[in-house]
Structure 1
Amino acid sequence: MAIRVVSGRGHQWLLTERIGSGSEGIVYAVDDPRALVAKLVPDPPDREAYRRRVERLVRQRREPRTVRLLSGSPTRLAWPMVPVRTVLGGGTDSIDGYVMRDMRLAYQPFTHLVSPAARRAFLPGATWATALAAAEALARLLAELHAGGYVVGDLKPDNLWVDTQGRVGLADVDSWQFTDGREVFPGRMRTPGYTAPERIGPVGAPPDSSSDDFVLAVLIHQLLMSGLHPFTGHPADGGDYLSLDDNLLQGRCRAVDRTSVVLPRSAPPADLLPRRLASLFGDAFGGTRPHAWLWAEELAVARAAERLTVCAVQKLHVYTIERPWCPWCDQAERGMDSYPGADSARGAP
C-alpha cells in the first residue's frame, strides 16, 4: 500500500517501495525526480521530543558548521531536509519522519567493501588501497562532525555508505547527540559489537567523541583486515565464546594480545599492517584512544603511493612497503583470498 506524507507547509510526497528498516525506523523510496527517500519512525520513545529533534536538525542545515559538513559532491550525510508526517487512515495516529537524499545514488552499502564476499560481487576492482582510502575518509568525516559539536553515538556499518573511490557517507543523522541552544538532544542508540566498553550494559555511559573514536577504530580494523572484527575469536583459555562484547570486556583482542584469541587459519595475517597503524590499534583497544584526526593523518601517510606496492602475482594484492612479501598471497595459501582477480594465482611470489 502506497503511503502519502505531508510537510508542515502542506507539500505532499508519495512513498513507494520499502527500502530497509532499522531498530527504530523504516526507509521508503519517494516518488520524486530529485532522488529522495523518507524515513518514518513509527514508535519513538517520546514523540514530541523526536519531532523537536528532527525540526532542529532541519534548521541546522543553514548553520555554518553544518553547511561545511554538507558541502562537496557527493554529499556525505543523509541530513534531514524537511520533517513529514503521515496518516495511515482508520483512525490511526500520524507517523513522524523526514525526507532526505537517497545515498544509493552515489554510494553502495559500506558492507560491500568490508565483507570479502560482497566486495567480490559488488566492488570487484577494490583493493587494500580502496580500504585505506575509505578508512581515511571515515576518520576525517568523524573528526569534522566532532569539531561541529555532533556525536554519532551509533556508528556502525549499517549506517555507512562507500563508493568505488573509497569516499564515505553516513546516514541515520536523527540518532546523533547534539545541542541546539541550551537544549541537549541525547544519543539514543547503541549496537552490539559497535559500542565502546563504558557504554555496554544496562546503565551505559552516554556517548561522546571518545566512544565514537573507539568504534571508529573497530570499523577501520574491519576495513584494513578484510572484514575481521577486532574482537572476533574463540577465547584462547578454552572458555566459551559468548559475543563480541564479551570478548571486548574481557580484553580478548588479537591487536592487543595475539595469544588471547584463536582465529581461523584463513584470517588475514596479523602483521599485514604498517607498524604505526598497528600501534594505533593497540592504543585504541588497550590504552589511550587515538582521536579521529590522528587516524586520518596516519592513514593518509599509509596510503600514499610511495608507501604501497603491488604483488607481482596478483594485481589486486596491494600492501604496505613495510612488508617484504604479499600478505594476501599468504592468506590465499591458507584457503581465503580477500582480493582475488580473474587471473588469480595461488601462492606467494
Structure 2
Amino acid sequence: MGLTVVSGTGHTWRLTEQIGSGAEGFVYGVDDGRPLVAKLVPDPPDPEAYRRRVARLVRQRRQPRTVGLLSGTPVRLAWPLIPVRTGGGTGSDRVDGYVMTDMRHAYQPFSRLLTVSTRTAFLPRATWATALHAALALARLLGELHTEGYVVGDLKPDNLWVDETGRVGMADVDSWQFTDGREVFPGRMRTPGYTAPERIGAPAGTPPDTASDEFALAVLVHQLLMAGLHPFAGHPADGGDYLSYDDNVAHGRCRIVDRTSVLLPRSVPPADLLPRRLAELFRTAFGPARRRPTAAEWAQALAAELAPGRLKACAVNARHLHTVERPWCPWCDQAERGADSYPGGDADGHPGRPQEEP
C-alpha cells in the first residue's frame, strides 16, 4: 500500500512516486488534480519545533509581507500550503511534512541551465541572455525576501528552478530563517561551495544572515554567467592539493580576484567575457574586504546589462551572445580551446538566425 498523508482537518492525499530527496527530507508526487507535491521530513532534530515552523509558515502565507512574494504567475515560491502527517501508525511512527506547489509544472531544475549537455537537451533556446535574465530574476527574488525579513541560509542550485525565459523559482522554504512575532526560527542548513567564508568551520547551528545569502547569490550569478563554472574552482597554483570549493573559499583562491591563485583547464570560459561592472561586483563579493554587494545592487547591475544595445550576437554563431564591451566573441575563443558552452547552428551546421536583443 502506498503512503498517504493527512492534514489537521482530516483531508487525505495519496502520495505517488518519490521525485526528490535532500539532506533532511523526501518529496513525493500527490494524487491530485492540482499541481501539488508533498515534502516529508522523517527525522528533524526537534520534531515539535519543526511542526511549529511549518505551521507558522503556513500562517504567514496570508500575511501582507508574504502575499506579495506569492503573487504573479507562475508562482515563484513553493510555499508550504498545509501541514500534513503520514497516515497510519501512532506517535513517533508518523512523519511530518507539508503540501506545496509542484514547481515542475512551470519550471525545470536550475542545474539544467549550468551545463552544456543539459542546456542543449532541456533548454535548447538558452543563450547568455537567458543566463543574464535568470541571474536578474534570482537577485530580485532574493532582494524581496530580504526586504520582508526572510533569510534563505542555504541558497544553492538544488533548491532553485528556472524556465526557458530565465524566470526563477525557489523551494525548501521550510529551511529558511525567519521571525514570527517574537519567536526566531533559525536557519538550519549549509551546503559546501555555497557557504560564506565566515560560516565555514563555524559551529553547527550558527545562524545565517543576509550577508551569507549575498555570498551564495554571487556564486550562483557567476555560475550562470560563466556557463556553470564555480568561482572557486581550480587547482591551487601554489602546488598544494585541491581539497574542495570550501578550502579554496577559505584561502581566497578565486580566478576573478587573483588570476595567479588557481590553475584551470584552458577550455573554461574566458574570465574577460564579463562586463566591467559585473566583474567589479564579483571582485567585491569574493575579495578580502567582505563588503558584499546586496541583492538589490546585483539586480541593478544585471538589469543594466540587459538594456537595449548592451548585447550583440557573434557573426559566426548567432547563439553566441556577449557584451558589447568585448570586441570579439568569448564563446568562439572558448570553442577554439576545446569546448563550446553555447553550440548552435541549424541541422546542416550553419549559424542560425541572429536573435533579437532582449
SS of structure 1 residue aligned to 2:273: coil
Deviation at 1:308, TM superposition (A): 0.3
Deviation at 1:182, TM superposition (A): 0.5
Instruction: Please give the per-residue CA displacement for 1:65-123, whole angstroms capped at 9, x wherever unaligned.
Output: 10000000000000000000013549861100000000000000001111222111111
Contact 2:6-2:87 within 8 A present in 1 as well: no
Contact 1:84-1:96 within 8 A present in 2 as well: yes
SS of structure 1 residue aligned to 2:100: strand
SS of structure 2 residue aligned to 1:15: strand
Q: 1:297 aligns with which of 272, 295, 300?
A: 300
- Deviating above 3 A after TM superposition, structure 1's stretches of 4 or more consecutive aligned residues are 87-92, 342-346
Q: Is 1:80 the equivalent of 2:83?
A: no
| Residue 225 (structure 2) aligns with | 224
| Residue 69 (structure 1) aligns with | 69
Contact 1:113-1:119 within 8 A present in 2 as well: yes
| Residue 254 (structure 2) aligns with | 253
CA distance in 2, matches of 1:147, 1:336: 40
Which residue identity is paired with 1:75? Answer: V
Deviation at 1:202, TM superposition (A): 4.6
CA distance in 1, matches of 2:275, 2:253: 22
Q: Normalising by structure 2, report the TM-score.
A: 0.95
| Residue 155 (structure 2) aligns with | 155
Q: State percent identity of aligned pairs.
A: 74
- The CA RMSD over aligned residues, in Å, is 1.3
Contact 1:87-1:93 within 8 A present in 2 as well: no
| Residue 325 (structure 2) aligns with | 322
Contact 1:30-1:37 within 8 A present in 2 as well: yes
CA distance in 2, matches of 1:125, 1:316: 9
- Structure 2: stretches of 5+ with no match in the other structure: 352-358
Instruction: Please give the per-residue CA displacement for 1:189-216, whole angstroms capped at 9, x wherever unaligned.
Output: 0000010011111516420001000100
Q: Is 1:333 the equivalent of 2:336?
A: yes
CA distance in 1, matches of 2:101, 2:345: 36
| Residue 18 (structure 1) aligns with | 18
Q: Is 1:282 the equivalent of 2:248?
A: no
Contact 1:3-1:88 within 8 A present in 2 as well: no
> Residues 50-69 of structure 1: matches in 2 within 5 Å?
50-69=50-69
Deviation at 1:281, TM superposition (A): 0.1
Q: Is 1:238 the equivalent of 2:239?
A: yes
Deviation at 1:306, TM superposition (A): 1.0
| Residue 118 (structure 1) aligns with | 118
SS of structure 1 residue aligned to 2:37: strand
Q: 1:312 aligns with which of 312, 315, 318?
A: 315
Contact 1:4-1:13 within 8 A present in 2 as well: yes
SS of structure 1 residue aligned to 2:238: coil
| Residue 178 (structure 1) aligns with | 178
| Residue 354 (structure 2) aligns with | none
CA distance in 2, matches of 1:77, 1:250: 35
Which residue identity is paired with 1:217? Answer: A
SS of structure 2 residue aligned to 1:207: coil
Q: Normalising by structure 1, report the TM-score.
A: 0.97
Q: Could you say if the C-alpha distance between residues 92 and 206 of structure 1 is closer, same or farther in structure 2, counting changes exceeding 3 Å?
A: closer
CA distance in 1, matches of 2:47, 2:91: 18
- Structure 1: stretches of 5+ with no match in the other structure: none
